[in-house]
Amino acid sequence: MGQELPVTSYALLGLLTFGDELTGYELKQRADITLRFYWVSPAMSQVYTELRRLTDAGLVEPTAEGRGQRYRITERGRRELKDWMDGTPAGFPVLKHPVLLRLLMGHVADPATIKAMLREYVDELTTALADLDEVRESLRGADAPGEAFRHPSLVADWGLAYFESEARLARETLARLDEGPLDKDL
């Protein structure tokens, strides 16, 4: 690989590969709509910092000046992104799960607090499922093999299954909490 870029740079490069030119603000909106379901969506200031880094490296180029400055990925940027995709191992995700962290220490809290936290999490998952389902539906018609949004639709399907699984696990945990003390032989 030629460049040493943060993963966020590659994420933003990838968001510029769908054939359109975007302002920093529009790129942030696209990140918020897509990345938030499986990656951290960068702050507005980080988007502009990364756009400067990518521009300085020749990986994106501005196409208009002024407040509405738009950016597009360059051929060099496409090659760099492809090299990163081809040369980076899949990697195991780092799970930073605040619900599980709190559940781990649930013995120091009131059981009602833990149950309320899990119910709130199920509600949040329900909202996330509805939001992601809207995103998934917006991709229909451009998600067939060879279409521009084929891979984003696969990510949306994965995310929907993931959130459904999380909701199922949270509901099962709530039910187990209602059973009484955990079986020590498990």
**Cβ-contact 98, 125 below 8 angstroms:** no
Q: Which of 87, 106, 134 is the last residue of a domain?
A: 87
CATH code, domain with 57: 1.10.10.10
Q: Which domain holds residue 150?
A: 98-178
The pTM for the full model equals 0.82
Q: Does residue 103 share a domain with residue 126?
A: yes
Q: Determine, yes or no, domain membership for 186.
A: no
Instruction: Find where tokens 């998600």 sit.
Output: 143
Write the DSSP assignment of 73-137 as a string of letters: E-HHHHHHHHHHHHHS---PPP---HHHHHHHTGGGS-HHHHHHHHHHHHHHHHHHHHHHHHHHH
Q: Does residue 11 share a domain with residue 81?
A: yes
Q: Which of 87, 110, 144 is the last residue of a domain?
A: 87
Indicate the number of domains in the chain.
2
94-133 pLDDT per residue, tens = 888 999 999 999 999 999 999 999 999 999 999 999 999 9
Nearest CA to 6 among 61, 52, 62, 64?
A: 52
Residue 1 pLDDT exceeds 50: no
